[in-house]
Structure 1
């Protein structure tokens, strides 16, 4: 409780400081990526009146990129480092870091192959992208500026200075046909007296949820919630200045990688199930850190995290899942896994919408259950909370066992929430997992990480943009990483794929996700 009170105090302090928030900026990432936290000074790019000097903003076209310790030929199994010097619009070197950069090493001929780089921010305007060389060829380098550091600082201000970045209203109706629509949030409205609030929190699973009390209806007349789209857009409009909005381009400005005129020759045999002569471990919980999650090669993902197999026939998938029950809990990205497996095995879905849905293969005793997580949600149609469950409560209600697998994905709808809301929810899930494992320790639990998404409008940046999703990764590892669960990190698979960024990746990417999933359910030990 002291931890949450401290977090709330910090959030309040950020709100009061307003424009002075820029004095510090932490670059956060997963434990594997080795991005160092740095403190950046307040820069003159923002004028005292709040306007922005756009000549001082990082401009990707002006990046100076070079190979660290260049060689005529590099070898598979070694590391390649690229130095990136950030420049502003006038071609002057930046003196502070914080740019959100994604890098990729790829070839297009004779094969299509790619892998993501891991970026270290040195805090002085220079960056190092490190690639683990996994396949041979004449390779090109992609360096994509997703957000200049100034945009990242604006995003941080939006997150730390606003309680909510999405307006949700819930209906209350008792005996009349009139529904009262009230503002609701996972964070209480501190301007209201407690008697003017309906508290739907569930302390046992660390969930908070509050609504402004309706005037004519009691709290227990709750009928459901939906996103108030117009109010959300109005809030976004007031949240950012006109200059701040110009910091966020549309997807069309991010789709194409700028040519870097850099060619890397790599020789050797591509890595499969061994790295530096040592076989990869079986896919299992608490795997050691790796230099890379893996790489794409002609449309197939090769994992360097663990010994993953390919499950491309109905017979192989059926053999893996025979007599097993899979519970899919979370958002629409885990629902993609549910639908892919259901359609691949030619099963029929029962149920629809936000209601629980399931599919059964009676002959092989395979059962799939999907249920969307409870609030926060980002849908505009009315959502009946009675049809949805908080993930921790769902875990408490599941009877585990050696043939039970629980799959969880919780990120897309939490990007617009204060970070302490996500942390609180994860602690509730952690305790539920511990309770389940105390009863049924052999139950498999698998967590799906965020992936990159698309940015078509300003609202996508401030609600569920990539920077916000990326900040959730280290929280998952911090709170859940020591448990006996498997974390499938698809972020690098997403940022190095051949498709445009999409919160819901296409089926050929999901197929490779599912290969990873089944490798954790049925560890692949062939060579």
Structure 2
């Protein structure tokens, strides 16, 4: 069945010498951060850097038509335009010919070099380290434009230490990575080409023009009769009449093709339909070869390791160092250490968690990466008993209660789009609506994690959903200011060539930036899953391993107990 007809989708739019040259550039350039930190903080760094000038204004045309029954207000239109402009990604020069595969980014031919320390005096704790990357193509020629996705990490295997770096794109084949130096001893630079700029161009086109590459279905049932039809955020109207199943309260759009013999109100269940095939050409498929140009380390030209000396007296503080400002924390001895904000407690046993959560109602709304938190708490709290609601193992909803300590834990999946096994329509709840049903208060914690199922849609869809959730959060905080609201960010996943077109780091990174900006001025707390996963020594996974989940939950519990009335051990 062809899924290419989409009426409401529109068309979108030596090395050391190089280092010395880069450090003395005075002409105006465009840099783009790869958003490993809150964008506003990175922006401050960019503006203060001697390697860049001001960022030009950028006008972005709309990539798809909004739901006709829910037109955005002028203020929302402006917010959306500014938000999407702010995370615009560098593209190949206008009018350039599509490159052949040999002209695309090749990590094997590319190198990075560590920039010598200032005044040649070595590096100290509190300083920052810089490395410069020069990308080449498969024929060994230097790339002349940017747009590649690189991830950077600094680590020490002995101390099980690690911190995420920031990558800046000079849009000429050169990239800079900067790291805060946070521990004594060795520090090894790791730089990885995740996707070439040419692959990113394909991913961008897929996001804007093929939101049908993951599709869904619903069963409609009346008595002994049942029919299954296709469903999605967008459906072409020339293939049949539609059931408009848009949520009347939150305005979240959803459509199914109308059954031939049943009415739209006979919708019974929702499930994932499948993945669209044959989305890209054979030539484009060469851009997604695992081990060749997808998530491949870049080698150092000389050394990739430095030695960090103890901090000097009067070293720069977090308040003035932009790289430190953009770093939410780091790992040391396999424990996450946040920088600034609420101190992180170590909840290493059931008693510590119970003391924190006694008398608490904890509501978790989101995807399966947040379900991990519910499952973790259930596994370490012996007095918390899961209420058997006979719901599907993966979709829930789930509830657990400790009647002795008056603890309630609840997890519920967010509403469509969700890629999941069949679930009753009656259990499809939108987060905004659920938040409106909460009383809130000092005994209530709300945890949100919504990102993984929106990567196949234009960003406007994600913005619209987050906007409704944000409004509901503000209403909750207005009527119950003592409510703790915690948001889990996106995280990188394991390398899967086939999965790159449906979930990948570039899509997740863009969503992560949108999420942070949408809630920038709201009184919420953040669990920076992106930096936590990037800094950790364990391999990336869409569902992080238990060791990282523990630190995420510990960070969340630290927020819940931040008012000091609940005693627990600080690190």
Same fold (TM over 0.5): yes
1:373 alignment partner in structure 2 = 414
Q: What's the CA shift for 1:120?
A: 0.8
2:214 alignment partner in structure 1 = 166
Q: What's the CA shift for 1:385?
A: 2.1
Q: What's the CA shift for 1:425?
A: 0.5
- Aligned with residue 230 of structure 2, among 183, 190, 199: 183
- Aligned with residue 449 of structure 1, among 475, 489, 493: 489
What are the residue-to-residue correspondences of 1:20-35 with 2, within 5 Å?
Answer: 29=35, 30-31=38-39, 32-34=41-43
Cα separation, 1, equivalents of 2:432 and 2:135? 44
* CA-to-aligned-CA distance 1:423-466 (integer Å, 9 cap, x gap): 111111111112222221211111100011123341x1111111
1:283 alignment partner in structure 2 = none
More helix by share: 1
1:489 alignment partner in structure 2 = 528
2:16 alignment partner in structure 1 = none
Q: What's the CA shift for 1:213?
A: 1.0
- Aligned with residue 356 of structure 1, among 393, 397, 400: 397
2:12 alignment partner in structure 1 = 14
CA 1:192–1:377 in 2, change beyond 3 Å: closer, same or farther? same
1:317 partnered with 2:353: yes
Q: What's the CA shift for 1:374?
A: 1.4
1:120 partnered with 2:129: no
* CA-to-aligned-CA distance 1:448-490 (integer Å, 9 cap, x gap): 00011123341x1111111111111121122221111112221
Cα separation, 2, equivalents of 1:26 and 1:170? 42
* CA-to-aligned-CA distance 1:68-106 (integer Å, 9 cap, x gap): 343452011111111111111122111100110001111
1:246 alignment partner in structure 2 = 286
| 8 Å contact from structure 1 (residues 132, 291) kept in 2 | no
- Aligned with residue 297 of structure 1, among 332, 342, 355: 332
Three-state SS of the structure 2 residue aligned to 1:499 is: coil
Q: What's the CA shift for 1:42?
A: 4.2
1:202 partnered with 2:244: no
Unaligned runs of 5+ in 1: 1-7, 16-23, 47-51, 281-287
1:100 alignment partner in structure 2 = 149
Cα separation, 1, equivalents of 2:233 and 2:492? 25
Cα separation, 2, equivalents of 1:360 and 1:240? 49
| 8 Å contact from structure 2 (residues 31, 168) kept in 1 | no
Cα separation, 2, equivalents of 1:10 and 1:116? 39
Question: Mean Cα displacement is larger for which, 367-376 or 241-250?
Answer: 241-250
Three-state SS of the structure 1 residue aligned to 2:214 is: coil
| 8 Å contact from structure 1 (residues 355, 388) kept in 2 | no
CA 1:485–1:254 in 2, change beyond 3 Å: closer, same or farther? same
Cα separation, 2, equivalents of 1:74 and 1:26? 26
| 8 Å contact from structure 2 (residues 34, 166) kept in 1 | no
Cα separation, 2, equivalents of 1:125 and 1:252? 18
Q: What's the CA shift for 1:123?
A: 1.0
CA 1:493–1:276 in 2, change beyond 3 Å: closer, same or farther? same
TM norm structure 1: 0.86
1:58 partnered with 2:105: yes
1:284 alignment partner in structure 2 = none
Cα separation, 2, equivalents of 1:175 and 1:255? 51
| 8 Å contact from structure 2 (residues 34, 149) kept in 1 | no
CA 1:490–1:461 in 2, change beyond 3 Å: closer, same or farther? same
| 8 Å contact from structure 2 (residues 207, 455) kept in 1 | no
Cα separation, 1, equivalents of 2:101 and 2:449? 38
* CA-to-aligned-CA distance 1:53-79 (integer Å, 9 cap, x gap): 111111112223122343452011111
CA 1:457–1:60 in 2, change beyond 3 Å: closer, same or farther? closer
1:3 alignment partner in structure 2 = none
Cα separation, 1, equivalents of 2:162 and 2:205? 34
Cα separation, 1, equivalents of 2:426 and 2:32? 39
1:337 partnered with 2:373: yes
Question: Mean Cα displacement is larger for which, 35-44 or 412-421?
Answer: 35-44
Alpha carbon RMSD of aligned pairs, Å?
A: 2.9
Three-state SS of the structure 1 residue aligned to 2:441 is: coil
Cα separation, 2, equivalents of 1:150 and 1:506? 31
Three-state SS of the structure 1 residue aligned to 2:345 is: coil
Question: Mean Cα displacement is larger for which, 71-80 or 403-412?
Answer: 71-80
CA 1:291–1:28 in 2, change beyond 3 Å: closer, same or farther? closer
Q: What's the CA shift for 1:324?
A: 0.6
1:149 alignment partner in structure 2 = 197
Three-state SS of the structure 1 residue aligned to 2:182 is: coil
Q: What's the CA shift for 1:203?
A: 4.0
CA 1:275–1:495 in 2, change beyond 3 Å: closer, same or farther? farther
1:510 alignment partner in structure 2 = 549
